[in-house]
Chain A
């Protein structure tokens, strides 16, 4: 994956670069420098803060901004009501934070800031970041499940109407599928975001190299790649929203298991 001279390295965009605090910022021996990844997390959080704060005017007749914020809270509220039921109301703050944070992160990562020399960084394309979010979701499921149902929570792994002799086998299968959840949840987001960004980078490499190749087939490849890039950019915007939605939806489905068992 090393960058050769004159070639575009599609993986370089994912490298984490410490910005400051490299030398002495550490907790219990672990280095925690403020990196470009942390910077974009902060940018997403601040943008989300501004967005939600703008909708906090609490007017009876909402303006556009307030309407937009209320649309998102209503969307999350509706999703939880549909998946969990009336008990789902208390998860609205968490799912809203999760959904909006990932959504903002995905969109900010797609900003074409390279044009002006700044490089957007998509921290959701790192499983070390998405893994934390998915493990947290999984932990909440476990905590809620065991707090609410005690050891009865294990009946989640035995669906209704399972024949008696099948129970050990079904239990094992269900347990494995349950334990795989945090990995699939975190990896799905990481893979989807990374794949899209790599694809865009590879295509832009084609465009650049095609032009550099001078007359002949090169510019044709460039043009075709460029058209494809435009289409894939649109697709990536869709994927950014869908992956945020999928993450929030699956988290709420898992919470439904914890709340209502089967």
Chain B
């Protein structure tokens, strides 16, 4: 195998060149470039970490803002409800008062109308009695030829009308 057969003549060359070339790889690539690549990665990781932290902070702030807004909103709503309730009771009270007033007025009108109706009816009844009395007197005078005085006729009519 050439590895052993050629060892005597090639070992110096092999060792020299691999030391030289691996040395180049280590010092130029390993020491010169790799740290820069790693630094880029570290920078990116840091950037991502910062961005995530900022996003987290923003989320927390938004949550707090929303909480505050909700609280304020609830307060406003409660206030509005209270105002509505107050307005409702007031309106109810006013309506009640008006209704009572109107009812009193209506009652008075009703009473007056009743009185008027009663008076009209009484008047009408008297009229009917008078007419009936006269008619009765005439009828009696014509049939019996008797003249009945008005008071007697009226009494008779009353008795007949009211039973």
A33 to B34, Cβ gap below 8 A? no
Task: Please count how many residues in chain A sit with their CB below 8 Å of the partner chain's CB atoms.
Answer: 54
Whether A14 contacts B10 by the Cβ 8 Å rule is no
Chain A residues with Cβ below 8 Å from B10 are: 16, 35, 37, 128
Within the complex, the shortest CB–CB distance from B1 to chain A, in Å, comes to 5
Q: How far is the CA of A136 from the CA of B20 in the complex (A)?
A: 13
Q: Is B36 an interface residue (CB 8 A)?
A: yes
Where chain B touches its partner, the secondary structure class is helix
CB within 8 A of B14: which of A55, A58, A94, A129?
Answer: A129
Contact A128:B16 (CB < 8 A) given known A48-B25, A52-B37: no
B40-70 at interface with A (beta carbon < 8 Å): 40-41, 43-44, 47
Nearest Cβ distance between residue A15 and chain B, in whole angstroms? Answer: 4
Instruction: Kindly list chain B residues whose C-beta atoms are within 8 Å of the C-beta of A38.
Output: 13-14, 17, 21
Contact at B44–A60, with CB atoms within 8 Å? yes
CA distance A53 to B34 in the complex (A): 9
Closest to B16 in A: A32
- Please name all residues of chain B whose beta carbon is closer than 8 Å to the beta carbon of A262 when the two chains form the complex: none
Contacting residues of chain A (5-48) with chain B, CB-CB under 8 angstroms: 11-12, 14-16, 18, 27, 30-35, 37-38, 41-42, 44-45, 48
A-side interface residues toward B, CB under 8 Å?
Answer: 1, 11-12, 14-16, 18, 27, 30-35, 37-38, 41-42, 44-45, 48-49, 52-53, 55-56, 58-60, 62, 66, 69-70, 73-74, 77, 92-94, 96-97, 100-101, 123, 125-129, 132-133, 136, 190, 194
